[in-house]
């Protein structure tokens, strides 16, 4: 069994209990604040149930055999909060359970245009009674604290039906961790503060033991049934249950809409949270089920107008790309001063932490399609500046050192080389700030948040690096994006991202002198940033004519790929890190990523040579890599290879290429599908102004992508011989097409010819590490 290939939805026909953990992730609904895994309505059978509130976590001790100065002490893990999805059905006292009786028909559909998860089941009970169940679930983009379920049951004969609707806290879950500290923290993590049930409404309020966060969940119900309805409601510490019983004649239907409200806070009281979720319910009831659906559709119609990518020639990829865009939207749409976790809110993978993935992979998508969501994610980083400053101080540095992984902004990575030493995270935040401001011209954000982020991260680099009379401004002892190389000197990606950081900080201070004065930026400090940027050390291997990923990297022995069994990937689970660190083997795009985001400092010949060199070393033991490799493959002329990498990025989750989708989807890889198409085959670059260099890969006959830039929405249609640029709404745009300036005006599309791609031999990958296409 597998997904049906359809352009605007993901549909699974038939029941496969062994695939539930996988489909619970792909069918997850979220708005960036509330996340609900796609479990069956009745709660069982299940794979890994989960309901999450962005930023709601529990603390636990971090494990160290030997502690050291500066090691983070507390870890953070996302909590499975009160589950409001559960709606159970009893048919003449027999519970509907897909493991019993017979599912005569069953399908579930995630609809990218309506933003809902639909279910239709025709079930025959063990005693032969037949009912048709239809349900539709929504997590609202427009009413941030609201979710809802519309549930219908139609019996084939006159039957008594009983519906039970639950709020369930501390749902028992088999923990997916080998760390007893984490398992203990998540064993019944919610302590009851309050519960009430009256009429058709119930509220449960809880708090966590160690993090001290408080949350409330509420439900209310609207029923449309035959006469003779009998209802009751009850509540206790961890369970509230609404029960409705009615005799339903054949040809009629029991209908119930369940409205849910969620809220949490680190500061507000339990009564305040109760008031918040009851107010959310009142708003949802006022809007009604049909109103929520209409609002959701209107929101998504607007999103797809600015974000859709249409493909001709590969129907399965078309579905995968829209699936990817829909889930990236869900991860960030209404986060609002919260992080965008690496798995979004689709599962507990990575403990619910946010990484640099957000700024370098997810935010470019949002910046050019839903910029207000990108702004809010950067505001979250700004809200954590005090923690980043404190982290830098502990490390003996100035400025702000943003964490490798976190939920609340404090570092909670227990692995020093790939955590604390990955200072590029701070540069990544600065890069995203500059990219957002350039794309939106949002000077208010730059003044209130962006400039301070740029200044404090620039200060980090001046204290971390130093001027060397032989090699310019050096940044030593860091870890770049490739986690198979650690504690290296002059990682090219890190140095170039720091260079961009310095230049961005200078520009922001010149744009906002009053802000610079408030931040006590002196003329000498500005001069120091300019000097460091101008003299940034960028290693180059003259003999090989390539850029080493970091100083002396190309002098290391090359990993023995030929004698590495396929079952030994990913390497980090089968070989000691010390061996990986001293060999030429690359976990994920590092120098290649530098050539994408700082392509303005590499020549075309350097890009082609570098790309070929690192193709032979990159094993892609990370889902982050394929999208970036697609971009550079397309740029240097390897269109077929680029297409293969696009497929790997797009199908990472739908085909479960890393065998871990049960823990949630890979937001960066989903974003990488957009990147591979827009920056790869669309050739979009934003180094200085907006530029495109589109080319069409052979499997496609045409593709069109949409974006927004400084309030103007436009689309680019790419064919074999030419590309057309057209304004959808807004003002004229000045762009570049394969280096040639063009001006696109409203109602005046511009069509430009596409020059032929360079003809280069396809580079080889390490043995057995070819792209995983489908």
Structural tokens at position 448? 């209130």
Is 720 within 8 Å of 696 (Cβ atoms)? yes
Mean pLDDT, rounded, of the chain: 95
Burial of 107 (0-12, 13-18, 19+ CB in 10 A): middle
- Residues 266 and 245: their CA atoms lie apart, in Å, by 39
Is 129 within 8 Å of 122 (Cβ atoms)? no
Is 138 within 8 Å of 147 (Cβ atoms)? yes
pLDDT at 172: 83
Residues marked active site are found at 483
How far apart, in Å, are the Cα atoms of 607 and each of 62, 497, 643? 41, 17, 18
pLDDT at 367: 98
Per DSSP, the chain holds a count of helices (H) and strands (E) of 20, 32
> 406 - beta bridge partners?
354
pLDDT band at 630 (very low <50, low <70, confident <90, very high): very high
Going by C-beta distance under 8 Å and a sequence separation of 6 or more, which residues neighbour residue 618?
586, 587, 588, 589, 592, 625, 629, 765, 766, 769
pLDDT at 177: 61
**How many residues does the structure list for the chain?**
774
pLDDT at 531: 97
pLDDT at 499: 98
What pairing do the DSSP bridges indicate for beta strands 116-124 and 130-139? antiparallel
Helix, strand, coil percent content, the chain, rounded in steps of 5: 35, 25, 40
Going by C-beta distance under 8 Å and a sequence separation of 6 or more, which residues neighbour residue 41?
85, 86, 87, 88, 119, 133, 135, 137, 149, 151
pLDDT higher than threshold 60 for residue 114: yes
Is 68 within 8 Å of 417 (Cβ atoms)? no
pLDDT band at 2 (very low <50, low <70, confident <90, very high): confident
Share of the chain above pLDDT 70, in %: 98
Structural tokens at position 325? 């865009």
pLDDT higher than threshold 70 for residue 453: yes
**Three-state DSSP state, 746:** coil
pLDDT band at 69 (very low <50, low <70, confident <90, very high): confident
- Residues 29 and 386: their CA atoms lie apart, in Å, by 32
CA Rg value for the chain = 27
Burial of 128 (0-12, 13-18, 19+ CB in 10 A): exposed
pLDDT at 727: 98
Instruction: Name the helix (H) or strand (E) containing 239.
Output: strand 239-248
How far apart, in Å, are the Cα atoms of 750 and each of 58, 719, 732, 733, 745? 54, 14, 11, 11, 8
Q: What is the tens place of the pLDDT at every residue in 685-738?
A: 999 999 999 999 999 999 999 999 999 999 999 999 999 999 999 999 999 999
- Residues 701 and 774: their CA atoms lie apart, in Å, by 20
pLDDT at 176: 60
Nearest Cα neighbor of 148 from 139, 160, 157, 159 is 139
Q: What is the tens place of the pLDDT at every residue in 519-571?
A: 999 999 999 999 999 999 999 999 999 999 999 999 999 999 999 999 999 99
- Residues 398 and 164: their CA atoms lie apart, in Å, by 57
- Residues 752 and 742: their CA atoms lie apart, in Å, by 9
Is 668 within 8 Å of 342 (Cβ atoms)? yes
pLDDT higher than threshold 70 for residue 307: yes
pLDDT at 1: 60
Q: What is the tens place of the pLDDT at every residue in 324-362?
A: 999 999 999 998 889 999 999 999 999 999 999 999 999
Instruction: Quote the pTM value.
Output: 0.97
Nearest Cα neighbor of 688 from 457, 504, 520 is 504
**Three-state DSSP state, 135:** strand
Better-scored residue on pLDDT, 168 or 228: 168
pLDDT at 175: 61
pLDDT higher than threshold 80 for residue 112: yes
Beta strands in 566-681 (DSSP E): 583-584
- Residues 421 and 536: their CA atoms lie apart, in Å, by 19
Q: What is the tens place of the pLDDT at every residue in 134-193?
A: 999 999 999 999 999 999 999 999 999 999 999 999 998 766 666 555 555 678 899 999
């Amino acid at each position: 069994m597998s997904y049906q290939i359809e352009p605007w939805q993901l549909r699974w026909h038939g029941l496969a209990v062994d695939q539930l953990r996988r489909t619970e992730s792909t069918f997850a609904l979220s708005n960036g604040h509330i996340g609900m895994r796609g479990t069956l309505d009745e709660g069982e059978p299940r794979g890994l149930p989960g309901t999450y509130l962005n930023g709601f976590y529990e603390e636990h001790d971090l494990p160290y055999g030997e502690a050291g100065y500066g090691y983070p002490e507390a870890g953070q893990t996302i909590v499975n909060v009160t589950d409001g999805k559960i709606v159970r059905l009893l048919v003449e006292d027999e519970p509907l359970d897909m493991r019993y009786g017979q599912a005569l028909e069953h399908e579930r559909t995630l609809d990218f245009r309506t933003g809902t998860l639909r279910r239709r089941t025709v079930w025959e009970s063990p005693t032969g009674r037949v009912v048709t169940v239809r349900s539709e679930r929504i997590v609202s983009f427009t009413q941030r604290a609201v979710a809802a379920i519309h549930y219908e049951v139609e019996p084939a004969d006159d039957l008594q039906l009983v519906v039970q609707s639950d709020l369930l806290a501390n749902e028992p879950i088999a923990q997916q961790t080998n760390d007893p500290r984490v398992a203990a923290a998540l064993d019944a993590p919610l302590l009851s503060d309050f519960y009430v049930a009256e009429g058709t409404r119930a509220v449960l309020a809880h708090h966590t033991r160690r993090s001290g966060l408080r949350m409330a969940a509420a439900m209310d119900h609207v029923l449309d049934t035959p006469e003779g309805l009998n209802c009751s409601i009850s509540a206790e510490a961890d369970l509230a249950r609404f029960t409705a019983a009615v005799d339903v004649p054949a040809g009629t239907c029991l209908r119930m809409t369940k409205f849910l409200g969620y809220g949490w806070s680190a500061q507000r009281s339990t009564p305040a949270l109760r008031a918040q979720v009851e107010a959310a319910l009142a708003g949802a009831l006022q809007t009604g089920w049909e109103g929520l659906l209409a609002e959701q559709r209107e929101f998504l119609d607007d999103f797809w107008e600015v974000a859709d990518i249409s493909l001709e020639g590969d129907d399965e990829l078309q579905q995968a790309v829209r699936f990817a865009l829909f889930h990236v939207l869900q991860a960030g749409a209404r986060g609002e001063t919260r992080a965008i976790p690496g798995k979004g809110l689709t599962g507990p993978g990575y403990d619910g932490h946010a990484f640099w993935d957000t700024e370098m992979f997810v935010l470019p998508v949002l910046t050019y399609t839903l910029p207000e969501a990108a702004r809010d994610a950067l505001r979250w980083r700004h809200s954590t500046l005090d923690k980043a400053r404190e982290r830098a101080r502990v490390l003996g540095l100035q400025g702000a050192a943003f964490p490798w992984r976190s939920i609340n902004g404090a570092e909670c990575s227990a692995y020093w080389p790939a955590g604390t030493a990955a200072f590029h995270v701070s540069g990544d935040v600065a890069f995203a700030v500059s990219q957002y401001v350039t794309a939106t011209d949002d000077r208010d954000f730059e003044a209130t948040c962006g400039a301070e982020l740029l200044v404090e991260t620039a200060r980090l680099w001046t204290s971390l690096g130093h001027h060397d009379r032989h090699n310019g401004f050096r940044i030593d002892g860091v870890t770049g994006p490739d986690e198979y190389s650690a504690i290296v000197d002059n990682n090219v990606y890190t140095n170039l991202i720091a260079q961009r950081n310095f230049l961005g900080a200078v520009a922001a201070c010149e744009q906002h002198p009053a802000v610079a004065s408030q931040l006590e930026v002196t003329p000498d400090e500005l001069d120091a940033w300019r000097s460091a940027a101008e003299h940034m050390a960028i290693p180059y291997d003259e003999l090989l004519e390539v850029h080493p990923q970091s100083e002396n990297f190309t002098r290391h022995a090359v990993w023995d790929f030929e004698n590495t069994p396929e079952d030994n990937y990913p390497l980090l689970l089968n070989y000691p890190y010390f061996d990986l660190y001293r060999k030429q083997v690359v976990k994920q795009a590092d120098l290649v990523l530098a050539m994408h985001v700082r392509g303005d400092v590499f020549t075309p010949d350097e890009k082609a040579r570098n790309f070929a060199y690192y193709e032979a070393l990159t094993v892609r033991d990370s889902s982050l890599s394929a999208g970036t490799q697609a971009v550079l493959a397309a740029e240097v002329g390897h269109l077929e290879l680029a297409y293969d990498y696009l497929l790997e990025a797009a199908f990472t989750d739908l085909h479960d290429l890393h065998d871990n989708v049960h823990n949630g989807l890979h937001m960066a890889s989903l974003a990488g599908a957009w990147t591979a198409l827009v920056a790869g085959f669309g050739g979009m670059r934003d180094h200085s102004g907006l530029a495109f260099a589109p080319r069409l890969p052979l499997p496609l006959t045409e593709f069109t992508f949409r974006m927004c830039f400084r309030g103007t929405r436009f689309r680019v249609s790419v064919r074999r011989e030419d590309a057309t640029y057209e304004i959808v709404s807004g003002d004229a745009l000045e762009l570049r097409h394969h280096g040639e300036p063009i001006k696109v005006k409203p109602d005046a599309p511009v069509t430009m010819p596409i020059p032929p791609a360079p003809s280069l031999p396809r580079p080889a990958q390490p043995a057995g590490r070819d792209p995983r296409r489908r």
